[in-house]
Every structure is written in C-alpha cells, then in structure tokens.
Amino acid sequence: MIFVLGIDAATWTVVRPNLDKLPSFARLCRTGRGSDMVLEETPISPSVWCSMFCGKLPDEHKHGSFVSGGKLVRRQDIAVDFIWDILDREGRTVKALNVPFVVPPYSFGVDFRPVGFGLPTNDKEWQEELERVTQKTRQLMAGAPDVLIACYTLLDRVQHFHWGEPCVLDWYRKVDSKMGELVFDSGFLDNKDNRLIVISDHGFCSFGESKVQTLPMKSEEGELKGDHHENALVITVNLDYDIKAPQDVFRAIRQHVGS
C-alpha cells in the first residue's frame, strides 16, 4: 500500500525546531527522508492539491480558486483525471479522504462529511476534524487499498487565526499524535512493502514574508495572522522517488502502483 498523508499548511518552520516535542515527526525523519518542496507556482491550496493528484501544472489543470464566478468550484468543473480515477479504471483500489482542492474537500470511494464544510474555524471543529479523519483513515487502512490518501486541513486554519501564538504548537502536537497512531501504532510501517508520503501544500509565515501574498489580511471571520509560504514539507518513507514539485506525488504513486 502507498499512503499519502496530506497536512495542509504543515511547515518545517514549526516542526524542525520542535522535533523534541513532536515524536512522530522526529521518528519519521529518522525512518525516512524529510525535505522541502519549494513551490514555483503561487502557494494556493486548491491549485497545489490539484496538481499533486492529477499530475498536471496549474496552467494545464487551470484550477486556481475554490470559487469561480461567485460559485464554489466542484470536482466536475475541473477537466482532469485524478490518480484515483485512473487507477480505479485499471482495477486498483484507491481511497481518498478529505482532499482539500475543492470546498468542501473531496473524497473518493468513501462516504465522508467534512467537518465545518471543510473550513473548520474553532477549537471544537479542529478537534473534531482530527478525530474523524483519523478514525476514518484507520478504518480505510484496515481494508488495505493499493492507494490511500487522507488529508487534515486544520493546521492551515489554526495558523491563519493564530500564527505566532503558542497554541499553534499545541495543534501540531495533536496532529503529531494522530499521525503516530496512523503510521506507527497501526503497524503500517512495519510492513516493508508499504510506502509513505507525508506532505503539505505550502508552508506558512507572517504576512510580508512570502513572495506572493495569497490572502487578504482580513476575512469574514476576522483578522488573519499569517500567509502561505512557498516551502512545503515532505517526508517520505520507502519511496524511490524525489518529491520536488506537487506533480511528483502523482508520478510517485504511478511509479509504485504500475498499470
């Protein structure tokens, strides 16, 4: 099985200096290989997640925003085949859970109602997303599909509201603990045939530190405290493929799950 764990907005800026408090990240860095994925395109979530799973550049898939013409963009508005569409046609089993290239996030081959319509905004919803995505992912893992993709969106939301505050690290610790359940406690990494990609779609920083401002400083929910950074986080275990750009996730899966 190849398992892609997407963690929206996870950044080495928080992880690296806190590895002593993030035991699963630390263990993954020892077991596998951590690296930066430096985005050449604008670090906007819909586009980057889309590229990861359709293997195309933003110019090719043309999906750059959650909203277009005043309407939420839906899966069917994006004229691409995703890795799950392709592998499913080839008779492989693929499950995708809560992938945030559209709002609400998209799932394939699994029934899942995203927390807070995919835009969780407070502690209660962040906790709920953590628990529900983890629980569903454990369940899907037990079925041993060829490819499993699951994403947490909460860190992006936490950081937008609280970047620079101590609670950001608290949420990384919670994610770290759930990630530990998924990849270590489940025995997933004990099976040497299993492969893992942990990846974010962009990093995070204070306003003005990124090359391109991707978001307004004020939103409907109040003032935003940070912005997306072009350096995304990648950790791979047992993967014979260098992830240097979002499209490489598609290629890596393709390589390991041959037709």
In angstroms, what is the minimal distance from the CB of 20 to Zn ion?
A: 26
Pick from 88, 176, 201, 248 the residue near Zn ion by CB under 5 A: 201
Q: In terms of CB distance, is 44 or 189 closer to Zn ion?
A: 44
227 binds Zn ion (CB under 5 A): no
Q: Which of residues 25-44 bind Zn ion (CB under 5 A)?
A: none
Q: How many helices (H) and strands (E) does the chain have?
A: 9, 13
Q: Can you tell me the distance from the alpha carbon of 37 to that of 218, in angstroms, rounded to the nearest whole number?
A: 28
Nearer residue to Zn ion within complex by CB, 145 or 246: 246
Tokens linked to 182: 């998924």
Q: List phi, psi (to 5°) of 2.
A: -115, 130
According to DSSP, the residues that pair with 71 across neighbouring strands are 68
Pairing of strands 71-72, 67-68: antiparallel
- The rounded distance, in Å, linking the Cα atoms of 257 and 247 is 16
Does 8 participate in binding Zn ion (rule CB under 5 A)?
yes
Q: If binding is defined by CB under 5 A, does position 129 make contact with Zn ion? A: no
Residue 45 interacting with Zn ion (CB under 5 A): yes
Residues in the chain: 259
x/- site string to Zn ion, residues 9 to 28, per CB under 5 A? x-------------------
In the complex, minimum distance from the CB of residue 93 to Zn ion, in angstroms, rounded to a whole number: 27
Cα–Cα distance, 166 to 168 (Å, whole number) = 5
Between 24 and 45, name the residue whose CB sits nearer to Zn ion: 45
Q: Look up residue 168 and give its DSSP letter.
A: H
Tell the residue number behind the tokens 């290239």, with chain if given: 101
Minimum distance from CB of 8 to Zn ion (Å)? 4
In this structure, what token pair is assigned to residue 60? 């090719």
Q: How far apart are CA 192 and CA 189, in angstroms?
A: 7
Strands 147-152 vs 94-99: parallel, antiparallel or unpaired: parallel
Q: Residue count at the site for Zn ion (CB under 5 A)? A: 5
> Among residues 156 and 227, whose Cβ is nearest to Zn ion?
156
Shortest Cβ distance from residue 248 to Zn ion (Å)? 17
Give me the least distance between CB of 9 and Zn ion, in Å please: 5
Asked if 102 and 75 touch (Cβ cutoff 8 Å), the reply is yes
Binder of Zn ion out of 156, 176, 227, 248 (CB under 5 A): 156
CB of 39 to Zn ion, least distance (A): 11
User: Among residues 134 and 153, whose Cβ is nearest to Zn ion?
Assistant: 153
Residue nearest to Zn ion (CB): 45
Contact residues for Zn ion, defined by CB under 5 A: 8-9, 45, 156, 201
